[in-house]
Amino acid sequence: MEQMQQIGIVGCGLSGCAIARIVALAGYNVHISEISQATLDLAFQKSSTFFKRESMRGALNKEDMQGTLSRIHGTIDLHDLADCDLIIETLPENPEAKSHIFQQLDAICSPNTIFISHTSSLSIESLASSIRSPERIVGLHFLHPIHQMKLVEIIKTPFVHSSVLETLLAFIESLGKESIVVKDAPGLIVNRLLIAHLLNAVRLLESGIADIEDIDKAMQIGCGHPMGPFRILDYYGLELICRIADNLYQEYHDPQYQPPALLLEMIEKSLLGRKVGQGFYTYSDEFVE
């Protein structure tokens, strides 16, 4: 892993920011690419807030906080990622947008650069087939909250070179994470189970069998889950869960992945979850993962 120093990240939404922070904490230089300076500025502001919070609770000293922040760099020019050893794309679950980014990266980066798509519901094989060097692209799925959850799902395609997979396994270990390797199947393990669970919770609410708090309590106390389904929905964002569910339904045609009417109504009303202050619950604090 000594030769890997420069890590690129495309997109600084919830996942992109959180991944950038753990990668910088592990000692790597991180280069985040976004389409606007305003988006980058907000990401840096949230990262600063996150590290200050970690410092206040004793998880990080001031020197480590400052050193980590100094290793995170932002750019609005994708070409600035050309010299990165590994690039993690963290765009929303849109196959066309992801393919377009990888085609651009394929044209400007070294043949040795490893490409990662952060996804849980899209085909990595399809993304790989859109570039000239499909053997260097792998999928990853970090679980949220990324700084707390230890598991990372690695999505292996038939094209990927064994050396790429070995490098990626070592990289994930260097972040303090554990990995599992899964075949290229939309939803992988975690989301194929989790999305059905979340949508069924909404259907239970629609049926009137219980209220939000009691359904959450049932899963937390009764099943030992750290968060109830409605807290999870709010945490991830309702529109993201719906987008993943739609992708899974298109792939498997399984009715358990069809978003319930209540979920669609809430998205239409922009009740998207914690990031906007209102979802199934109401929030007054700033959301910083």
Give the residue numbers marked as catalytic: 120, 141, 153, 191
Other C-beta atoms closer than 10 Å to the C-beta of 78 total 18
| Amino acid code (one letter) for 181 | V
8 A C-beta contact, residue 8 and residue 74: no
Residue carrying structure tokens 């992801």:
98
Q: What are phi and psi of 9, to 5 degrees?
A: -135, 125
Q: Which of 100, 189, 80, 97 is nearest to 141 (CA)?
A: 189
Q: Who contacts 194 (Cβ-Cβ below 8 Å, separation ≥6)?
A: 232
In sequence order, what are the residues at sequence separation of 6 or more whose Cβ sits closer than 8 angstroms to the Cβ of residue 130?
A: 99, 102, 103
What SS3 class is residue 94?
coil
SS3 150: coil
Closest to 147 measured CA to CA, from 10, 18, 2, 234: 18
Concatenated DSSP letters of 198-233: HHHHHHHHHHTSS-HHHHHHIIIIIH--SS-HHHHH
Could you check whether the bond before residue 145 is cis, i.e. omega within 30 degrees of 0?
yes
